[in-house]
Amino acid sequence: MPSNNLYIISGGPGSGKTALLQALSNHGLTCMPEAGRSIIQDQLAIGGTALPWQNPPAFAELMLCWDMRSYREAQLMQGPILFDRGIPDVMGYLLLNKLPVPPHIEKAAHSFRYNQLVFLAPPWPEIYTQDTERKQSLQEAIATFHAMSELYAKLGYEIILLPLVTVAERVQFVLNKISS
């Protein structure tokens, strides 16, 4: 079920994805939030254990559910919709952590298709920071970027690297790509 108006922005943590999506939202585009950060916040709030540092398989399942719901919701919307990560990122998360990828997650990554262009934010040490939800080291962020790059290429997407420029310049870059 390809959806040409659905665009993924992926990459490693701390590479400016969320700031870019917020700026794109301020330009009037619809942006779907990242599953992982919200799930971590919710799990911490309720004392849940589906956390990446506690139960990675359960965390992956919650991300898959969130991302599939976001995908279906976005299909009902008009215009370009931008996602802070997508369903394939769940598969990438498991592969990165050397965990088995259940067949239903692999099927979801192949079945729920987004626009052919996938924007990847490369590692950016100058802006990288850790916080309550982002506990990965810069080295893990770099590994995540490479894992996502390989996975999206393997799934047949065309990877567009985001330039290491200001948020405003990144916004213009993305707008130019999705309007052409």
Cβ distance 160 to 120 under 8 Å?
Answer: yes
CATH entry 3.40.50.300 includes domain 6-179:
yes
Strand order in the sheet with 117-121: 30-32, 81-84, 6-11, 117-121, 158-161
The stretches in the chain having pLDDT less than 70 are 1-2, 125-136, 138, 180
Domain extents in the chain: 6-179
Tokens of 4: 């040409």
Residue pLDDT, tens place only, 32-59: 998 988 999 999 999 999 999 899 999 9
Cβ distance 155 to 43 under 8 Å?
Answer: no
Residue pLDDT, tens place only, 17-37: 888 999 999 999 999 998 988
- C-alpha angle with apex 176: 171 to 179, nearest 5 degrees? 120
The per-residue pLDDT of the chain, averaged, comes to 90
Tell me, yes or no, if the pTM score tops 0.85: yes
**Calpha distance 37→175 (Å, rounded):** 25
pLDDT score recorded for residue 136: 64
Helix axes 87-96, 103-111, angle to 10 degrees: 140
